[in-house]
Amino acid sequence: MVILDRYIMRAVIGSVLLVMLILLALFSFAAFVNELTYIGKGDYGVVLALFYVGLTLPGLAYDLFPVAALLGSVMGLGVMASNSELVVMRAAGVSIGRITWSVMKAGLLLVIVAVVISEFISGESERLAQEIRSQALTGYVTKKIEKGFWTRDETRIINVRSVLPSGELRKIYIYEIDQQRRITAMLYAESANYEDGQWVLNNVNQSHLSENEVNSLQLAHLLQQRLIDPEMIDVIAIKPRSLSVQGLYRYIEYLKTNDLSSEHYEMVFWSKVILPFATAVMVFLSIPFVFGPLRSVGVGVRVLVGTLVGITFYVIHQMSSYIGLVFHVNSALSAVLPTLIFFIAALLMMRRIK
């Protein structure tokens, strides 16, 4: 049975990897086309655009894992069915349940790979991609962290702790430095909004440092012509999907502690949490495609139906999360519901297999 497990797992995982490569090629091409609008701005060229798209591939692969798992499993098992290998296994006394267990072992390995990509690879690669893109577009040295980002020009170092979806900046720290790299002034503002071509800083505490004394000044508002290019907010702001599950959890706690909106981050958090389980469900769903009503059709038809089902799941999964966000439905429920529906459908289809 160990040999049988390895054979089935190799067929399934090999097909999943092939499908994943095809999907990544299609989606990365679309992403590169989208980057063409930025090419020519600053130092951002074709090579950097390709490098940026390449660094975002791990995160994209994580999002596509359920679809790739379904299509790959259907393709791998479909080829085995077309070659009558599954018939020989059944004739040799191997039950459908035993074959399903072998397939789910492959699914478990895929889940582990998905989790590793999400927690240890995609977050760092996407943060690096954003830093390279930001520096090329803005000309600033920008460094993002989980509680904000840092940027620097010739005379100032700026730290913004968070950016709201409206574009409002929260908790801004500005450090003025001289040619000897000594701090000459410090400024803290609770928030900042871009209005009429300039930044309006609110609740400002400003300090000027000299050799003998420190002069402090508190202002309700302060105008700043030069802070951050508003067109680059989307480039340098923290993107929820670039964070790991642990990073999202810590950032949600940070937002709640500071009375900031965390609904969007909670939606992304639960979507990431449920996605490995969705991958396992998609692998499980492939079994009825081979032993169920489609067992007498060719591989091409199975792949076509699997593609339609995979796309349907992907769309419903994405829509469910955002619909939950719009109508203030519990984030965990809206993220779990599509996967639960497809799991129930798979169980019902498995019960009809004879």
The length of the chain in residues reads: 354
57-81 residue pLDDT tens: 999 999 999 999 999 998 898 888 8
**Domain end (from 210, 236, 262):** 236
Indicate the SS3 state at residue 174. Answer: strand
259-281 residue pLDDT tens: 667 888 888 899 999 999 999 99
Whether 231 shows a pLDDT value over 70: the answer reads no
Radius of gyration of the chain (CA): 26
Low-confidence winner among 25-34, 328-337, 345-354 (lowest mean pLDDT): 345-354
**Domain end (from 236, 257, 289):** 236
Residues 182 and 265 in one domain: no
Measured between its terminal Cα atoms, the distance across the chain in Å is 22
Whether 152 shows a pLDDT value over 80: the answer reads no
The whole domain housing 170 covers 147-236
Which is nearest to 265 in space by CA: 283, 281, 245?
245
Res 337: pLDDT: 93
Domain count, the chain: 2
Residues 157 and 195 in one domain: yes
Residues 260 and 131 in one domain: yes
Which CA distances in Å does 67 have to 20, 40, 258? 9, 35, 37
Res 67: pLDDT: 92
Res 43: pLDDT: 86
Low-confidence winner among 120-129, 139-148, 181-190 (lowest mean pLDDT): 139-148
pTM of the predicted model as reported, rounded to 2 decimal places: 0.77
Res 234: pLDDT: 56
Res 261: pLDDT: 74
Instruction: Determine what percent of the chain is predicted with pLDDT higher than 70.
Output: 89
Residues 123 and 189 in one domain: no
- Quick one: DSSP state of residue 239? P
Confidence of residue 299 (pLDDT cuts 50, 70, 90): low
Low-confidence winner among 124-128, 130-134, 135-139, 190-194 (lowest mean pLDDT): 135-139
Higher pLDDT, 66 or 302: 66
Res 236: pLDDT: 55
Res 317: pLDDT: 85
Question: Tokens representing 261?
Answer: 């909106």
Residues 126 and 191 in one domain: no
Higher pLDDT, 81 or 24: 24
Q: What is the dihedral of CA 131, 134, 138, 141, to 10 degrees?
A: -10
318-342 residue pLDDT tens: 888 888 878 888 889 999 999 999 9
Distance separating alpha carbons of residues 11 and 118, to the nearest angstrom: 24
Confidence of residue 310 (pLDDT cuts 50, 70, 90): confident
**Domain end (from 236, 259, 275):** 236
Region 240-259: mean pLDDT is: 77
Whether 90 shows a pLDDT value over 90: the answer reads no
Q: What is the edge-to-edge ordering of all strands in the sheet holding 169-177? A: 141-145, 148-152, 156-163, 169-177, 183-195, 198-209, 214-224
Residues 250 and 339 in one domain: yes
Distance separating alpha carbons of residues 5 and 8, to the nearest angstrom: 5
Sign of CA dihedral 150, 151, 152, 156: negative
Res 106: pLDDT: 95
Distance separating alpha carbons of residues 340 and 309, to the nearest angstrom: 15
Residues 231 and 257 in one domain: no
- Quick one: DSSP state of residue 167? S
Region 273-291: mean pLDDT is: 91
Stated as kind and residue range, the H or E segment containing 200 is strand 198-209
Whether 289 shows a pLDDT value over 70: the answer reads yes
Render 57-69 in DSSP notation, one character per residue.
HHHHHHHHHHHHH
Residues 10 and 132 in one domain: yes
Averaged confidence pLDDT in the chain? 85
Residues 254 and 191 in one domain: no
Residues 178 and 260 in one domain: no
Residues 57 and 38 in one domain: yes
Residues 97 and 6 in one domain: yes
Indicate the SS3 state at residue 118. Answer: helix
Low-confidence winner among 132-141, 144-153, 247-256 (lowest mean pLDDT): 144-153
Whether 292 shows a pLDDT value over 90: the answer reads no
For residue 258, what are the contacts with CB-CB under 8 A and spacing of at least 6? 162, 170, 171
